[in-house]
Amino acid sequence: MRGVLRARGLIDGLGWGETLISKSPISFLEGVDPEQGKLIDKSHELFGLSINGKVIIFPHSVGSSVGAYVLYKLKKNGKAPSAIINLRSDNITVSGCAIANIPLVDMVEVLSLIREGEFIMVNGSNGSVIIY
């Protein structure tokens, strides 16, 4: 184990996996294919990459509140991220994670310590992020 970071726990549960990091916000409604679990927004830095089973880290989501249902559909289709970390969560991400039972934290102390492709565990219940 490399370290434990404190965060604000928003949606309970445990999620673990490899990190996928975006410096850009994500539009779930127009930017993510819920059938494949891939980013389909050609202008997004993660275009073509799968979020399935990953811990995705991004600032916040953008777009329509219907994006919350895309998170639910991702979960229903077995293509959802295992957890989400935001810089500061918004209503779309919080409500989507709540209905899809995806652990969610934000406001992680020293978020810059988490690197791309690293294996981490997110505990939305107590607001911790463990870096392995």
Which residues are annotated as catalytic?
64
- Chain Cα centroid distance, residue 129: 13
Parallel, antiparallel or unpaired: strands 32-33 and 38-39? antiparallel
